[in-house]
Amino acid sequence: MNIPFLDLKQNYRNVKDEVNDAIQDVLTNASYINGPIVSTFENNFAKYIGTKYAVGVSNGTTALEVALKVLDLKEGDEVITQANTFIATVLAISSCQATPVLVDCDDDFMMDVSKIESKITNKTKAIIPVHLYGYTANMTEIMILAKKHNLFVIEDCAQAHGSKHNGQIAGTFGDLACFSFYPGKNLGAYGDAGAVCTNNFELKEKMEYYRNLGSKIKYHHETLGTNARLDSIQAAILNVKLRYLSTYNRCRNRLANTYCERLTDKLLKPKYDPDAIYHLYVVRTDKRDELQQYLREQGIETGVHYPIPIHKTGTYKQLFEGETFEKTEQYAEQILSLPMFPEMSEAQQNYVIEHVNKFFS
């Protein structure tokens, strides 16, 4: 049996007719740029998250860039995030001429809240907690800290569409919340796409200008900006798939629950958190490379998110020279993401469980 890490072809087959119709509408109307379907999707997505506004942008990295841009950061301003995130979070900070500052993660892969305060200086402007793998950062504590030090909070929700923290949905805590609709995310387009959610009218307006070359009326350029628009065809696809997001998320959590119950205790399983939406199912073991190789030989595709901590990447080695982030470094050697996607069948999951358990027996 061959088990893919995720199955986008199956995903498309399940929504084919609706998606084809939605794309056909865009083609028929030839409303490719800033078409009405973009604002329809923005309204529907804002409603799903529970924010007043969602601003569609071209991808998740751009979402972070646009969010940081409208905070008017100056060169040398500092933005705190975590060492075990995807590179995009940190690249977005750098691309706004700000300086990224890293903290370690805690036992559950979330930003270690106890490590934030010692990193705050008079140049710190914002904190970007990342709801990695679909768990949520400790937003209660982070919002208290941010308020105390007068900092903006941008939630990186790229892996957390629908995740909750103490019953409140991710993306409704901070000033801005950045989503990616990369094909493999909980809500995935069939190409690149992203959005920023907010309740702040002023920031929403600034983002709408910024993503569209500083203009709302054609050729009236009022502010600096770039082309970071959400594509109409992707918006149409997302609008269809948004209707299935709750179903997809329920499937993910059912699969995660089964993994938690049936995988051997010889590997470290993630805690089961009913508030999370399991974007990735990440286990830990000191025999990670051997396990990954063994599973590959059985036809099971796995992933590592992420094998190289930010401060050890070529891009950032120099900036963070001499800094160590103990947990992030340890986990980078141990983590393995098992196949998990809404369309995964019981037989496919049984096969994975059987072989993981066999490896350890």
Contact in structure between 269 and 260 (CB atoms under 8 Å): yes
Contact between 85 and ligand PLP per CB under 6 A: yes
Q: Of the candidates 313, 311, 315, 316, which has an alpha carbon nearest to the alpha carbon of residue 328?
A: 311
Contact between 259 and ligand PLP per CB under 6 A: no
CA distance 184 to 177: 19
Contact between 81 and ligand PLP per CB under 6 A: no
Min dist. Cβ of residue 88 to ligand PLP (A): 4
68 CA to centre of own chain: 16
Min dist. Cβ of residue 61 to ligand PLP (A): 3
Residues 99-138, mask of contacts with ligand PLP (x by CB under 6 A):
-------------------------------x--------
Amino acid code (one letter) for 234: Q
Contact between 88 and ligand PLP per CB under 6 A: yes
Residues numbered 192-231 forming contacts with ligand PLP, rule: CB under 6 A: 192, 194
Residues numbered 44-63 forming contacts with ligand PLP, rule: CB under 6 A: 59-61
Q: Of the candidates 138, 129, 193, which has an alpha carbon nearest to the alpha carbon of residue 164?
A: 138
Length of the chain: 361
Only one of the segments 26-34, 153-161, 235-243, 257-265 lies at the binding site for ligand PLP (rule: CB under 6 A); that segment is 153-161
Min dist. Cβ of residue 64 to ligand PLP (A): 6
- Is the bond into 306 cis (omega within 30 degrees of 0)? yes
* List 156, 175, 208, 231, residue binding ligand PLP (CB under 6 A): 156
Question: Cα-Cα-Cα-Cα dihedral of 248, 253, 258, 261, to 10°?
Answer: 180
Cβ neighbours around 354 below 10 Å, total: 12
Residues of this chain that bind ligand PLP (CB under 6 A): 59-61, 85-86, 88-89, 130, 156, 158-159, 180, 182, 192, 194
